[in-house]
Amino acid sequence: MAAAVPDSDKTLKIDAFIPCNEIDDVYFDKPYYLAPDKMGTDAFVLLRDGMKEAKVAAIAHTVLFRRVRTVLIRPHGKGLIATTLNFDYEVRSSEEAFEELPDLKIEGEMLELAEHIIGTKKGSFDASTFDDRYEAAVAELVKAKLEGRALPKKKAPAASKPSDLLQALRESAGLGGKKAEPKRTAGNANKGTRRQKAAKPAAAKSKSAASPTRRAG
């Protein structure tokens, strides 16, 4: 087995330069920051700035954890970042993963509700807002053990019944059982309205009503 372990000389060997967006994200594994040693700063900066100008990334290989790994090198801030890439056999194709997914086309009120919900949930990415719940749970278990307390019991999630997707979207959008108001477009601007006919003229009074009443003689 020792003969199968490659020698490591702590160097990166570039194999090719490729367009930055050529590799699918599913191949990305772990990122590592790259910084030069004191003797290689000039070459490092030249490579970084040259890649920025050409808008390319580099495919390279190196030995990491006793394995030859392929890495993608890209400019990142003042330095470079190397992302290890999964091997082809490690990545399942999207065609295989989604082959049983039916071809459905969603439109009308359901699509409008989805767009509304997405609009109300728009935000920006901030990694500091995400908590590692597993680490917190482990810390709580250790603390409970040290203090001699009973371990907190985890509640089983309640089983949910299959629901009507459209109704669920309405409730999520805060509409309850109401239908979403359709978008106002040129095609439906006059939809639902009818031109009212002009009011009929008042009927002429009958002759008996129009003629004066005779007094009894």
By the 8 A CB rule, do 82 and 59 touch? no
Least confident of 120-124, 145-149, 190-194: 190-194
The C-alpha atoms of residue 167 and residue 65 are separated, in whole angstroms, by 52
Q: Does the pLDDT at position 56 exceed 60?
A: yes
Q: Which residue has the higher pLDDT, 179 or 38?
A: 38
Predicted pLDDT at 59:
96
Q: Does the pLDDT at position 212 exceed 50?
A: no
Cross-strand pairs, 182:
none
The C-alpha atoms of residue 85 and residue 61 are separated, in whole angstroms, by 10
Closest listed residue to residue 31, CA positions, set 5, 4, 57, 9:
57
Structure confidence by residue, pLDDT tens digits, 86-112: 999 999 988 888 998 888 887 788 888
Q: What number is the average pLDDT over the span 144-172?
A: 74
Biggest alpha carbon–alpha carbon distance for the chain? 142
Q: Does the pLDDT at position 26 exceed 90?
A: yes
Closest listed residue to residue 73, CA positions, set 104, 92, 94, 52:
52
Q: Does the pLDDT at position 129 exceed 80?
A: yes
Q: Does the pLDDT at position 192 exceed 50?
A: no
Q: CATH topology for 13-89? A: Ku70; Chain: A; Domain 2 (2.40.290)
